[in-house]
Amino acid sequence: MNKLLALENLVKKYGAITAVDGISFVIDQGICFGLLGPNGAGKTTAIEVIEDIVEPTSGTILYKGQPRSDAFREAIGIMFQQTALLSFLTVKETLQTFQNLYRRTAAIDDLIRLCRLQEFEHHMNDKISGGQRQRLLLAASLVNNPELLFLDEPSTGMDPQARRNLWDIVQSIKANGKTIVLTTHYMEEAQYLCDEIAILDHGKIIAQGTPEELIQTHCRGGTVILPRTSFSVPASQLSRPYREVKDRVEIETDNINACLQQLIALGTDLNGLQVRSPNLETVFLNLTGRQLRA
C-alpha cells in the first residue's frame, strides 16, 4: 500500500505536561486507522496536531512523503465531536454553505444519498434527531471531497440502530477510496471499522496492529460464564479463580476446553453456560487496567 500519512517521534507539551510523548506510526492509503485511548491519554491532542490545528512541540508529520503545506487543509475532512449548526438553515442548505468554503467540492446530492439524508434534506437543522444530525455532520466533512477523513467519536450518543447505520456509511466511504482516522470510545465500533489500531496511554503508543493481531498478542483463552444458581463448586476444588458478578459466575481461563472438562468432572450444571471470547475491550483492560470510558 502507499503511505499517505507518516508520524515520527511526535511530541506535544503544554508547559511541564507532555500530552503526546514521541509517537510514531504510518497510515496507508485506503484504510481506516483507529487511535484509541482513555480520557487524558493524549489522543485528542495527537489528532489536533495531525489535523494541523495545534502546532507540535517537535517531531515530523509527512503527508504523501512531504511536509504538510497549506494545501493539506484542503485535502482533509474533519468531523468534530461538536459542531454548531444554524437553526434557520435546512440540511441541504447547510451542506451548500459548507460547500462554498472550498474550491474543490463533491456533489451535494451525492453526499445526501451517501449519508442517507434524503428523507429530511429540507428539514431545519433544529428539527432533526441526534442520529440524523451526526449523519449531516459526516456529510459536511465530505463536502470538499477529501482524501483523508478524520472522525472524532462520530457515533457518541447514538442508539444502537443509528450507530450501525453510521458504520455502514463509513464502510461505504472507505470503499470509495477514502482514508479514515477514527477515534472512538466504542470497542465494537473500532473492531468493526478499523483495519489497524494504535492504543495510546500516558501520551505513548502502548500497542499497535490489526484488531486480530492485538487480540492474539494480548489475550489468551476467554471467560466461562455460568448462572450463579447453577454453580456450586467449592473454590478449593476449582483450579482457576472465579468472580461473582450480580447473578452470574465468571471464570477467566487460558484453556476453555480444560475448564469445561473440569466443570463437567465436578458435576456442574452447564445449563445457561456462555463462553465469551476476548475482544478489543479485553485487550484494553489487559493493557491499561481500566475501561476505555472510565
The CATH number of the domain holding residue 260 is: 3.30.70
- Verify that 239 and 190 share a domain, yes or no: no
Query: Does residue 59 form part of some domain?
Result: no
Query: Does residue 246 form part of some domain?
Result: yes
Domain count, the chain: 2
Structure-derived torsion over alpha carbons of residues 42, 46, 48, 54, reported in degrees to the nearest 10: 100
Q: List, for residues 174-231, the tens digit of each pLDDT value.
A: 999 999 999 998 999 999 999 999 999 999 999 999 999 999 898 877 888 989 887 8
For 18-80, give the DSSP string.
Answer: EEEEEEEEEEETT-EEEEE--TTSSHHHHHHHHTTSS--SEEEEEETTEE--THHHHHEEEE-
d(CA 182, CA 194): 8
- Verify that 103 and 225 share a domain, yes or no: no
Residue 1 has pLDDT above 80, yes or no: no
Residue 290 has pLDDT above 70, yes or no: no
- Verify that 125 and 251 share a domain, yes or no: no
- Verify that 122 and 253 share a domain, yes or no: no
Query: Does residue 205 form part of some domain?
Result: yes
For 166-181, give the DSSP string.
Answer: HHHHHHHHHHTT-EEE
pLDDT of residue 157: 83
Query: Does residue 84 form part of some domain?
Result: yes
The CATH number of the domain holding residue 179 is: 3.40.50.300
Query: Does residue 228 form part of some domain?
Result: yes
- Verify that 212 and 171 share a domain, yes or no: yes
Residue 15 has pLDDT above 90, yes or no: yes
Judged by average pLDDT, the poorest of 48-52, 76-80, 235-239 is 235-239
Name the percent of the chain lying above pLDDT 90. Answer: 63
* Domain range enclosing 262: 220-277
Cell of 109: 446530492
Query: Does residue 240 form part of some domain?
Result: yes
The CA R_g of the chain, rounded to the nearest whole Å, is 23
Query: Does residue 20 form part of some domain?
Result: no
